[in-house]
Chain A
Amino acid sequence: MSKPNIQLDSHGRLKHFLTIDGLKREMLTEILDTAESFTGVSERVVKKVPLLRGKTICNLFFENSTRTRTTFEVAAKRLSADVLNLNVSTSSTTKGETLLDTLRNLEAMHVDMFVIRHSDSGAAHFFATHAAPHISVINAGDGQHAHPTQAMLDMFTIRRHKEEFTGLRVAIVGDVLHSRVARSQILALNTLGTSEVRVIAPRTLLPPDPRTLGVHIFHDLEEGIRDVDVVIMLRLQKERMTGALLPSEHEYFQLYGLTEKRLKAAKPDAIVMHPGPINRGVEMDSQVADGPRSVILQQVSFGIAVRMAVMSMTMGTQAQGAAAR
Chain B
Amino acid sequence: MNAPNSTSILGGRLIDPASGIDSVTDIFIHNGKILAIGEPPEGFTAHHTIDASGQIVCPGLVDLSARMREPGQEHIATIASETALAARSGITTLCCPPDTDPVIDTPAVVTLLLRRAKRSARARLLPIGAMTQQLAGEHLSEMVALKRAGCVAMSNGYAPLANTLVERRALEYAATFGITAILRPEDRHLRNNGYAHEGPVSARLGLPGIPEAAESVAVARDLALAEHTGCRIHFHLLSSGTAARMIEQAQQQRLQVSANVAAHQLHLTEMDIEDFDSNCHLNPPLRSLADREALRAALAKGVIGAICSDHQPLKADAKEAPFPSTATGMAGLQTLLPLTLKLVDEGVLGLSEAIARITCGPADMLGLPYGRLQPGSSADICIFDPHRHWVLKREEMPSSGRNTPFIGWEFQGQVTHTLFEGRIVFHSDSTTQA
Q: Which of A142, A183, A208 contacts B211 (CB 8 A)?
A: A208
Contact present for A145 and B207 (CB under 8 Å): yes
Within 8 A of A (CB), among B45-82: none
Q: Which residues of A contact B275 (CB under 8 A)?
A: 3, 6, 125
| Given the contacts A3-B274, A126-B276, A208-B199, A121 and B322 also touching, CB distance less than 8 Å | yes
Q: How far is the CA of A183 from the CA of B205 in the complex (A)?
A: 9
Contact present for A144 and B208 (CB under 8 Å): yes
B208's closest neighbor in chain A, by CB? A144
Contact present for B320 and A208 (CB under 8 Å): no
Q: Which of A100, A180, A210, A212 contacts B321 (CB 8 A)?
A: A100
Q: Which of A130, A183, A209, A212 contacts B206 (CB 8 A)?
A: A183
Contact present for B203 and A213 (CB under 8 Å): yes
Q: Which residues of A contact B338 (CB under 8 A)?
A: none
Q: Which residues of B contact A183 (CB under 8 A)?
A: 204, 206
Contact present for B200 and A125 (CB under 8 Å): no
Q: Which residues of B contact A99 (CB under 8 A)?
A: 321-322, 325
Q: How far is the CA of A123 from the CA of B321 in the complex (A)?
A: 8
Within 8 A of A (CB), among B284-307: none
Contact present for A146 and B322 (CB under 8 Å): no
| Given the contacts A121-B276, A123-B322, A145 and B206 also touching, CB distance less than 8 Å | yes
Q: How far is the CA of A93 from the CA of B205 in the complex (A)?
A: 23
Contact present for B321 and A144 (CB under 8 Å): no
Q: Which residues of A contact B322 (CB under 8 A)?
A: 99, 118, 120-123, 125-126, 142-143
Contact present for A21 and B204 (CB under 8 Å): yes
Contact present for B199 and A180 (CB under 8 Å): no
Q: How far is the CA of A123 from the CA of B202 in the complex (A)?
A: 15
Contact present for A143 and B200 (CB under 8 Å): no
A98 touches B (CB below 8 Å): yes
- Count chain A CB atoms within 10 A of each CB in B206, B207, B208, B211 and give the residue with the most: B206
Interface 1/0 per residue, B23-45 and A, CB below 8 Å: 00000000000000000000000
A207 touches B (CB below 8 Å): yes
**Number of residues of chain A lying within 8 A (CB) of chain B:** 28
Within 8 A of A (CB), among B187-215: 195, 198-200, 202-209, 211
Q: Smallest CB–CB gap between A189 and chain B, Å? A: 15
Q: Smallest CB–CB gap between B182 and chain A, Å? A: 30
Q: Smallest CB–CB gap between A217 and chain B, Å? A: 13
Interface size, B (range): 20 to 34
Contact present for B205 and A122 (CB under 8 Å): yes
Contact present for B203 and A209 (CB under 8 Å): yes
Q: Which of B198, B276, B321 contacts A208 (CB 8 A)?
A: B198
| Given the contacts A3-B275, A98-B317, A121-B276, A212 and B203 also touching, CB distance less than 8 Å | yes
Interface 1/0 per residue, A155-196 and B, CB below 8 Å: 000000000000000000000000010010000000000000
B150 touches A (CB below 8 Å): no
Q: How far is the CA of A306 from the CA of B399 in the complex (A)?
A: 45
Q: Smallest CB–CB gap between A297 and chain B, Å? A: 28
Interface 1/0 per residue, A248-265 and B, CB below 8 Å: 000000000000000000
Contact present for A207 and B321 (CB under 8 Å): no
Within 8 A of B (CB), among A51-101: 94, 98-100
Q: Which residues of B contact A146 (CB under 8 A)?
A: 206
Q: Which of A3, A94, A122, A180 contacts B323 (CB 8 A)?
A: A122
B212's closest neighbor in chain A, by CB? A208
| Given the contacts A99-B321, A146-B206, A209 and B199 also touching, CB distance less than 8 Å | yes
B317's closest neighbor in chain A, by CB? A98
Q: How far is the CA of A130 from the CA of B278 in the complex (A)?
A: 13
Q: How far is the CA of A183 from the CA of B202 in the complex (A)?
A: 11
Q: Smallest CB–CB gap between A178 and chain B, Å? A: 8
Q: Which residues of A contact B413 (CB under 8 A)?
A: none
Q: How far is the CA of A145 from the CA of B274 in the complex (A)?
A: 12
Q: Which residues of A contact B198 (CB under 8 A)?
A: 208
B193's closest neighbor in chain A, by CB? A243
Contact present for A180 and B203 (CB under 8 Å): no
B324 touches A (CB below 8 Å): yes
Contact present for A122 and B274 (CB under 8 Å): no
Contact present for A121 and B317 (CB under 8 Å): no
Q: Smallest CB–CB gap between B69 and chain A, Å? A: 20
Interface 1/0 per residue, A123-155 and B, CB below 8 Å: 101100010000000000011111000000000
Interface 1/0 per residue, A224-241 and B, CB below 8 Å: 000000000000000000
A120's closest neighbor in chain B, by CB? B322
Contact present for A144 and B207 (CB under 8 Å): yes
Q: Which of B199, B276, B317 contacts A122 (CB 8 A)?
A: B276
| Given the contacts A3-B274, A98-B320, A121 and B199 also touching, CB distance less than 8 Å | no
Contact present for A121 and B207 (CB under 8 Å): yes
Q: Which of B202, B203, B274, B325 contacts A120 (CB 8 A)?
A: B325
Q: How far is the CA of A212 from the CA of B197 in the complex (A)?
A: 15
Q: Which residues of B contact A100 (CB under 8 A)?
A: 317, 320-321
Q: How far is the CA of A47 from the CA of B199 in the complex (A)?
A: 46
Interface 1/0 per residue, A200-215 and B, CB below 8 Å: 0000000111101100
Supplied contacts A99-B325, A122-B322, 11 more A-B pairs, CB within 8 Å = A94-B325, A98-B321, A99-B321, A99-B322, A123-B322, A130-B320, A142-B206, A145-B205, A183-B206, A208-B199, A212-B203
Q: Which 5 A-B pairs have the closest CB atoms?
A: A145-B206, A122-B276, A144-B206, A120-B322, A207-B203
9 contacts between A and B (CB under 8 A): A3-B274, A3-B275, A99-B322, A100-B320, A120-B324, A143-B206, A209-B203, A212-B200, A213-B203
